[in-house]
Amino acid sequence: MEKLITFLNIIAWVIGLGSTIFLIGRIIAAFSYNEMDKLIDKIKGVNRTFPIMWPAIVSLICWAFIITFW
């Protein structure tokens, strides 16, 4: 059972770090999306969104698992 928890802990570290970096990147992209970018996207017909809910949920679950089994 100890090996399974160690394996899951390693997986949680990898996915948690990746998801957290992805979440931070999306937040930075959302804040750096200015009016010029909006106009360019409007000309191209693109509707750009920056959803952060899924990376936030995944990183929260991974970090909770890591803290629980530390």
Helix axes 2-32, 53-68, angle to 10 degrees: 150
- Tokens at residue 31, please? 């804040």
Check pLDDT > 90 for residue 70.
no
Q: What is the pTM of this model?
A: 0.84
Mean pLDDT computed over 8-34: 96
17 by Cβ neighbours in 10 Å (0-12 / 13-18 / 19+) ranks as middle
Q: What is the pLDDT of residues 41-69, one digit of tens each?
A: 999 999 999 999 999 999 999 999 999 98
Which residue type, as a one-letter code, is found at position 45? Answer: G
Q: What is the pLDDT of residue 26?
A: 95
* CA distances for 35 relative to 3, 32, 39, angstroms: 52, 10, 6
